[in-house]
Amino acid sequence: MEKYDESSIIVLEGLEPVRRRPGMYVGDTEDGSGMHNLLWSVVANSVDEHLAGEASYIRVTFHDDDAVSVEDDGRGIPIGPLPHDPDKTILEAMLTQLFGGGPWHSTDMRATYHGLGIGLPVASALSSRLEADVCRDGRRATQDFAAGKAVGPLRDRGPTDRRGTRITFTPDFSILPRRPWSRAHVARRLREIAALSPRLTTILDHRAFRCPAGLADLVRFMGRGQRALHGEPIRVRGTRDDIDVDAALLWTVGPRTRIRGFVGHANVARGTHLHGLGRGLFEAFGALDPARFGTVHRTAFDEVLGPGLIAAVQVTLDDARSGARRDDLTNPEVSPAVAAVVSEQLAARLRDDRPLRETLLARMPG
């Protein structure tokens, strides 16, 4: 047995744990998804500024050298000294220390981009070069970083009438395999973020995404090219047990079922929020005709009314939990909350809208 004493203990400083075990922080480091998660961690900071009522746009720009920039018009990351360490700025702490950022941007923890952002320090740790350009309180300042460490002091660039933060970084390809950025994937996520924040404009290079109708605009886009069975997407919104529920439903003549689920602003593809949506649909139709639907098995119901359904559902809650997979919501209380909101509001809409009710019921046998 090898000797085990104080000489066996290795203390990793700063962001070295991230560089040693990047998969623990960004997921798969081989297929390109980890590289894209670096981008989302920077975007998350800008989304938080919007949710705090500050930023109105987020722009993502790709450069020829594989670098990418994320810019917003929020307040700008604070550049003043740390209270307990005057030799270091808050900006430097946010980019060189795990959990160094803190909720400086929002006092309401529900109003954050929880779920996707892995944090600015992780993006800094896994970048061979990162430049932070901050416009705040009438001054512009920049600072450079590499591999999670500051490589120079904060530089004052003089007065400015602009505000916001622009972070430009290049992934460290000595750790992450070089993969091309997927503009299609980035465009899809920026459109989703715009739909989840209807007053926010997201921009990819020179292409802007605006969804003033929220999730309704998203499902309308998802259903492009398919003839809808009703005019506008059905909106469902409400709160149960302190869980906010927002959903949009659109039935088309298409053969596929397409459903996207979100927890906060995170795209969460599995879990109790989606289970609750399916349960709510079943209960809504059951409330219209209990005798008829009392004998229909849930699986048969899904097979008949599922094809052609395009839907998006978002839940917001204080303590979202996931299982072994990061894209799985496990909170058991979410399913009945979503089901209650969907079933009550959809059943009411179907009772009031006879053409819609008859169109959808015509799909059911018997």
Task: Name residues whose C-beta falls within 8 Å of residue 201's C-beta, 6 or more positions apart in sequence.
Answer: 56, 57, 58, 194, 208, 209, 210
Residue 313 confidence (pLDDT): 97
| Predicted pLDDT of residue 12 | 45
CA distance linking residue 352 with residue 341, whole number of Å: 17
Digit-by-digit pLDDT tens for the chain (366 residues) are 455 444 433 434 567 778 888 777 777 777 778 889 899 999 999 999 999 999 999 999 999 999 999 999 999 999 998 888 888 889 998 899 876 444 334 434 444 444 434 589 999 999 999 999 999 999 999 999 999 999 989 999 999 999 999 999 999 999 988 999 999 999 999 999 999 999 999 999 989 999 999 999 999 999 998 999 888 999 999 999 999 999 999 999 888 899 999 999 989 989 999 999 999 998 998 888 787 777 777 776 777 678 889 999 999 998 888 866 667 899 999 999 999 999 999 999 999 988 888 888 877 665
Strands in 137-280 per DSSP E: 139-146, 149-150, 155-159, 164-171, 201-204, 207-209, 234-240, 243-251, 258-263, 266-267, 270-271
Residues of the chain with CATH 3.30.565.10: 16-209
pLDDT in tens, 200-209: 999 999 899 9
Q: Write down the pLDDT at residue 188.
A: 96
Output the six-digit token pair for 288.
């219209």
Q: What is the pLDDT of residue 46?
A: 93
The reply to whether the predicted model has a pTM over 0.85 is yes
Q: Which residues pair with 125 in a beta bridge?
A: none
Which secondary-structure segment (H or E) carries 87? Answer: strand 85-89
Helices 183-196 and 215-222 cross at an angle (nearest 10°) of: 140
- The pLDDT of residue 364: 67
Looking at the chain, the domain(s) classified CATH 3.30.230.10 span: 215-361
CA diameter of the chain? 78
- The CATH fold assigned to 16-209 is Heat Shock Protein 90 (3.30.565)
Beta strands in 100-241 (DSSP E): 127-136, 139-146, 149-150, 155-159, 164-171, 201-204, 207-209, 234-240
Residue 53's region, left for phi above 0, alpha for psi from -120 to 50, else beta, is: left
Fold of 215-361: Ribosomal Protein S5; domain 2 (3.30.230)
Q: Which two tokens stand for residue 61?
A: 């720009």
